[in-house]
Amino acid sequence: MNVFYKIFGTFKFSFIPPLLIYLAAGVSGITNIVGVFFVKEYLDLSAVFLAGLGFWAGLPWVLKMPLGHLVDILWKFKSLLVLLGAIVMATSSLIMFGLIQYKVQMLTILNAETWFVISTLLAPIGFVLQDVVADAMTVEAVPKIDGNGNEINFNELKSMNVSMQLLGRVSIIFGTLLVSMLNLIVFADSSEMTELEKVKAYGDIYLYSLIVPIISISGIFLAYLNQKNKYKLLVDNGISPLKAYKMIFNVPEVTNPNMLIIIGSIIFVIFTLAIGTSNIGFSQEIVFIGSFAIILTLLFKLSNELDLKAKKMLLGTAIIIFAFRAMPGVGQGGSWFEIDVLGFDQEFLSLLGLIASFLTIIGIFVLRPLMEKSSMTKLIVILSIAGSFFILPSIAMFYGFHEFTSKITNGLVDARFIAIFNTALESPLGQVSMIPILAWIAQSAPNHLKATFFAVLASFTNLALSASNLGTKYLNQIYVITREVKTNLGDIKIPADYSELGILMIIVCLLTLVVPIGVTFIIKKLRLISY
């Protein structure tokens, strides 16, 4: 109860606007399950191609860097970015809805694979546009003064910043919880659905996803109303209109355009587009190396705004979080194996999502003391050990462990039981690593560069996900996994082959354990981080 009091006891109405934008980000996962099944059933795309597409889809998150700086410069007009993001997100959903429900008409313009790629690339652009504003709004949401215009003390501010960042993660996960509940309803008895019923359900899900941009826009509108009411209260209490405006609307000192960031970002965009649209070999690798160099330069540049202790903390933390998030995954082959071999259908995967979301919310509250008291290095070690441990059940099921347990328990402990149990244990840990560093930025970064700091560090850590996708692609090229693909006549075009999935999962498990812990040890030894 004390944990809940610490969080909700510091809750302010001003927290709601950014939380709504984060909620929209969570709800955006409404199309995840549909996407997996749509690709598997209707698109002839390999695991390697999908991993590569994941790399390009991750690059817009790197663009948080210039967008964050732009938000700092044009803070008064931040709502326009949220609106633009909403339009882009809606476009992505409508493309997929049209592709599913009006396939014939859509295919007269472009083929299905091209439409899918366009939609996949548009969606993260919309989310990035909104997320960069939401991050900065979390700073604005924490009041620096009370209703009488008096400054709030440091400890109370720190507590509110931690609560704000934690509730931001909770809001995202709550969005996934709502999504899982909806998917569970839509795909109830999915195994008995006809092909036409499945197609209609897929289309309906993409139509429902239009609620996402509506939720995010409502956050901006609510923020304006809240600030307007607080401004009126201060004026009524005798504060001059000009002073009240500066206090409520959180007008920071003027942020002069940083030409290094602007020019570097322009070069990055041109460089990425030029390489990405060319037929140059190793285009993804070239873009990654270029992106890494640009962002690392900007990170060092921004660190000069901090004192030596804070600078070391920023750089050291960025490196170990990068190593943690850059670990490769199994790829789509793991999902195909669960569907084809283990028999997981849309309904069961929706149930897993529901369990994961619910327990993640509970886990975040329970693990709050761990996040507050543990150093970042300790957290990374714990999460790396846990992450590798939770891959073991999937490895075991590949080699038939579920068949053994099912036999000795009269069918109780089967593949689905193991998947549910593993999801229950794994879920709470996914959001833990970023909360302490987000709270630190909110508390310690220069006021006129809050959005820039959030964006650059996020760009760096999100670039790690691009590295993860590259690693996933390489592993899928070495260990080839194919799902069954049939022709229009029902003949097998490509047979299913999951024979190399086991060794792939073992390698992913070992990398997840060894690499982040090794990097953390080296960083500590080099004294780049002292906590």
Average predicted confidence (pLDDT) for the chain: 78
Answer whether residue 385 is part of any domain: yes
CA gap 77, 81 in Å, rounded: 8
Whether 530 maps to a domain, the answer reads no
Give the C-alpha separation, 366 to 354, whole Å: 19
Q: Does a structural domain hold residue 7?
A: yes
Question: Contact, 271 vs 287, CB < 8 A?
Answer: yes
Residue 444 included in any domain: yes
Give exposure, 236-271, as e/b (b: 16+ Cβ within 10 Å): eeebeeeebeebbebebeebeebeebeebbeebeee
pLDDT at 512: 92
The count of other CB atoms within 10 Å of the CB of residue 40 is 17
CATH code of 255's domain: 1.20.1250.20
Paired tokens of 339? 């569907």
For 114-149, give the secondary structure using H, E and C: HHHHHHHHHHHHHHHHHHHHHHHHHHHHCCCECCCC
Q: Quickly tell me which residue has 């997996």 as its tokens.
A: 36
Q: What is the pLDDT of residue 28?
A: 83
Listed residue (122, 49, 141) closest to 84, CA to CA: 122
148 is a domain residue: yes
Give the pLDDT confidence of 171-217 residue by residue, as tens digits: 888 888 888 888 778 777 766 777 788 788 888 888 888 888 888 88
The pairing of beta strand 485-486 with beta strand 492-494: antiparallel
Closest by CA to 217, choosing from 118, 81, 35, 95, is 81
Q: SS3 of 42, please?
A: helix
Q: Token pair of 249, please?
A: 């609307």
pLDDT at 515: 94
Dihedrals phi, psi of 331, to nearest 5 degrees:
95, -170
> Residue for token digits 């959005």?
451
User: CA-based angle 408:410:413, to the nearest 5?
Assistant: 75
Please say whether the beta carbons of 145 and 152 come within 8 A: yes
531 within a domain of the structure (yes/no)? no
Check residue 33 and give its pLDDT.
Answer: 74
Nearest to 175 by CA among 34, 31, 23, 32: 23
Residue 116 is part of which domain span?
2-525
Q: State the pLDDT at residue 293.
A: 82
Position 487 scores a pLDDT of 65
How far, in Å, are 86, 340, 431 from residue 169 at the CA level? 20, 33, 7
* R_g over Cα of the chain: 24
CB-side neighbour CA atoms (13 Å) of 173 = 24
Give every residue of the chain whose pLDDT is below 70, as ranges. 1-11, 62-65, 75-76, 143-159, 161-162, 190-191, 246-256, 260-261, 264, 273, 276-277, 279, 367-374, 424-456, 485-491, 528-531
Helices 32-42 and 346-366 sit at what angle, rounded to 10 degrees? 150
Count of domains for the chain: 1
Concatenated DSSP letters of 452-519: HHHHHHHHHHHHHHHHHHHHHHHHHHHS--B--EE-TTS-EEE--B-TTHHHHHHHHHHHHHHHHHHH
Structure tokens at 29: 């996962």
Q: Where are the alpha helices (DSSP H) in 11-46?
A: 16-27, 32-42
Instruction: State the pLDDT at residue 439.
Output: 61
Structure tokens at 21: 């934008």
What pLDDT does residue 95 have? 92
Q: What is the pLDDT of residue 51?
A: 72
Closest CA to 256 of 67, 446, 69: 69
Whether residue 147 is contained in a domain is answered as yes
pLDDT of the residue at 475: 93
Which residue type, as a one-letter code, is found at position 468?
A: S
